Amino acid sequence: MARVVVTTAGGVRGRAAERGVVSFRGVPYAAPPTGLRRFAAPVPPEPWRGVREARDPSPVAPQDPRSGYGWTHTAGDDHLTVDVHVPADLPRGLPVLVWIHGGGWVSGSASAPGYHPAAWVRRGFVVVAMNYRLGFEGFGAVPGAPDNRGILDQIAALRWVAENVRAFGGDPDRVTIAGQSAGAASVAALMCAPAARGLFSRAIAASITGETYTQRQAADVAARVARAARVPATREGFAGLPPVRLLAASDAVAQDLAADPAAGPRGAVPLLYHPVVDGEVVRGPFMQGPHAGGDPGVDLLVQTVADEWTLFSRSGFAPVAQDFAQVAEFAAAVGLPAAAVDRYRELLPGADPGALGDALLSDALFAEPSRRFARAHTARGGRTHLARFTWRSPVLGGRFGATHGLDVPFAFGNPQAMELFLHAVPVLPLARRVPGLGSRVRGLFPTPAAAALSRRVVAAWTGFAADGDPGWPRISEAGVPVHVWGSRDTLERTPDARERIWADVEFRPFDGPGTGP
């Protein structure tokens, strides 16, 4: 029999239990962002009478239909919602995981099948996954409207959890937030945001991205989008555009960036939208400056993968360096001196230019921001654990290795989800977009070794979320020890020599021509 839970806005009826899990899908935490609310901060949902059916996912936030998450211009507007997954016997006082999906700030869904948390629920968790505004709707600069609306949505969802999760069997004092890629950067942003303080006590960030914008840069991007859409760059001008036209205008600007030979790596995966340093929600870069590392009272687990950039370069979405001169161009674009290429060649003997470029951009865009945030959190007095995922996917002859996003399905007990995606990548249309995780093919299943690794990662992440202990020591200010996931797990006690290459690179808010990941 389907269960009914009463929230602060009204009753919701979930699906009947499946494999011991009851799911309540599409539960509103805020009112639909339409009309005057479209570019405003989120507000609570209007209460309803009776019982609202919560058996099916809500519409996803507006995004490129090619992302694979099912958005269409007729999808509906009620997408500021959460999915809540609970044990079938609905016990009380359970720890809570709140999942924030990635997708480059422009795509993603709380209901993506690869992230179904049955493994967590069976271990005694309530799991909440949120949708939030994406792309221009969530991060575009609109005169007279707040910046970082997508992050404001995330804070509103966390407030909803604080007010309602007890009714679902969760303990509001034992909340862990977690996310990957843009979701991990969201975790970092929330740890640094005064408005989110006290809404969670632990955090897991997998592959933190480091890019933020100045308000001037965000306004410049918005002006380009307005020109592409042929409307004034005003609140009224943007409000007159349906989401599908805003998406088309954003895509046109991204196409221009991708075609610009001067854009370098910034044009490889042309993301137009990032958190904006507004002095309130985002007070500066997450990994350096006075607020770096976030709230030291929050326990933190940071994880990266060994081959972050291959998801983009080895699938045809981004260029592969053809010679060492091109690797040097990549280095210059991310703030490294030419001598850094020689140092990479010393540390990776025998690597060809493609592999060197992948390693350099993996560090620039994900690994170094993640490590630096972890070290900053420790320097502020926080308890921090660090891990690196090195298990290499055998799909397509090992083309992708331990690529961006491969670790998270393992952490949810669904290792086949990313394996299926990697198998599908070469047959996807090579549109200039960030690949979504919605495309799947049949016939590939995880090996016994992969399944065993998944069980170990699930145990570590759930152990950390439950009591702060993933199973290995916390790091010092030097950033070690690091737990290394692989066919056999190890513990590295000396810093990676590649970290020293980045010692003098600063992660400032971007304030120049073009945009990038």
Structure-derived torsion over alpha carbons of residues 224, 227, 231, 235, reported in degrees to the nearest 10: 10
* Closest of 316, 437, 453 to residue 393, by C-alpha: 453
Please tell me the distance from the alpha carbon of residue 44 to that of residue 7, in angstroms, as a whole number.
12
β-strand pairing of 21-28 with 11-13: unpaired
Q: Cβ neighbours of residue 35 under 8 Å, at least 6 residues apart?
A: none
Please tell me the distance from the alpha carbon of residue 69 to that of residue 110, in angstroms, as a whole number.
10
Number of H helices, E strands in the chain: 16, 13
**The two structure tokens encoding residue 52:** 């609202």
CA-based radius of gyration for the chain: 22
384 strand-pairing partners: 300
Using the structure block, give the residue that is written with the tokens 């977690």: 178
Please tell me the distance from the alpha carbon of residue 150 to that of residue 61, in angstroms, as a whole number.
10
Asked if 147 contacts 68 with a C-beta cutoff of 8 angstroms, the reply is: no
Q: What is the DSSP letter of 194?
A: G
Using the structure block, give the residue that is written with the tokens 């910046």: 147
**The two structure tokens encoding residue 397:** 């002859």
User: Three-state SS for 223?
Assistant: helix
Q: Give the neighbor-by-neighbor strand order of the sheet with 4-6.
A: 4-6, 11-13, 51-53
**The two structure tokens encoding residue 170:** 């969760």
Number of Cβ within a 10 Å radius of residue 476: 14
Please tell me the distance from the alpha carbon of residue 16 to that of residue 108, in angstroms, as a whole number.
26
Please tell me the distance from the alpha carbon of residue 58 to that of residue 56, in angstroms, as a whole number.
6
User: Three-state SS for 497?
Assistant: coil
Active site residues: 181, 308, 404
Asked if 41 contacts 155 with a C-beta cutoff of 8 angstroms, the reply is: no
User: How long is the chain?
Assistant: 517
Residue 290: C-alpha distances to residues 213, 285, 287, 295, 389 (Å): 17, 9, 9, 11, 30
Which amino acid, 272?
A: L
